[in-house]
Structures are given as structure tokens and as C-alpha cells.
């Protein structure tokens, strides 16, 4: 686990999309709930709802999160992300969500 985390953090050093996520925050809109995710360079994350977990980059180059509750989800990284960019994806349950990169307060 630790070696996977370290490898992912090292991969992030050369990945502008990961930099955008760790330097800013990600708003997630499920249609009924909106929350903010804060990704840290050490491979951890927390949310405005009080949950958290870890993130990694998998062998396919996808950005993957694993929550403390055991939910896992991977999404492709978007090149050239900047604050205000939005895109559609799925949450760990397979439900559609909208992600928006926002400035970290």
C-alpha cells in the first residue's frame, strides 16, 4: 500500500492535471447533494462532508480514490484543467455527477 501511494505521488509530480486537483478543490454535484473534495499532495483527501480517504494514479493513468468506508472510484484525468472547468462522470455507486474545479479557499 505504501509503495503504491509513493509511486502515485511521484507520478503526480509530472502531471499538470493532478497539480490542478491538489492546488485547487473539486466540487461534486450529485443532483441532490453538492460537496467539495480537497486532494492533498501526500495522496490523501478530505471532503466538506467530513469523509476522506486516499487517492492514487492507476496503471491506466486514471485518478482513483478510495474512501475510508471502502468505496473506490476511478476517473480519467482531463488535460489542461483550470478553475471553472466542469465535466460529467460517475460516483462510486455508478450514479452520474458533475465535477467542477474550483479555487481552494
For 62-89, the pLDDT digits (tens) are 999 999 888 999 988 888 889 999 999 9
CA 98 to chain centre: 13
- Domains defined for the chain, CATH in brackets: 2-102 (2.40.128)
pTM: 0.83
For 31-68, the pLDDT digits (tens) are 999 999 999 999 999 999 999 999 999 988 899 999 98
pLDDT at position 102: 97
Helix axes 16-23, 2-12, angle to 10 degrees: 100
Gap between the Cα atoms of 2 and 22, Å rounded:
19
Whether pLDDT at 5 is above 90: no
Amino acid at each position: 500500500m505504501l509503495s503504491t501511494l509513493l509511486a502515485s505521488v511521484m507520478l503526480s509530480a509530472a502531471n499538470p492535471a493532478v497539480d490542478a486537483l491538489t492546488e485547487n478543490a473539486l466540487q461534486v454535484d450529485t443532483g441532490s447533494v453538492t460537496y467539495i473534495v480537497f486532494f492533498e499532495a501526500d495522496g490523501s483527501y478530505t471532503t466538506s462532508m467530513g469523509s476522506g480517504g486516499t487517492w492514487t494514479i492507476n496503471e491506466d493513468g486514471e485518478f482513483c480514490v478510495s474512501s475510508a468506508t471502502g468505496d473506490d472510484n476511478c476517473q480519467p484525468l482531463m488535460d489542461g484543467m483550470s478553475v471553472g472547468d466542469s465535466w460529467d462522470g460517475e460516483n462510486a455507486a455508478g450514479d452520474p455527477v458533475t465535477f467542477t474545479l474550483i479555487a481552494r479557499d
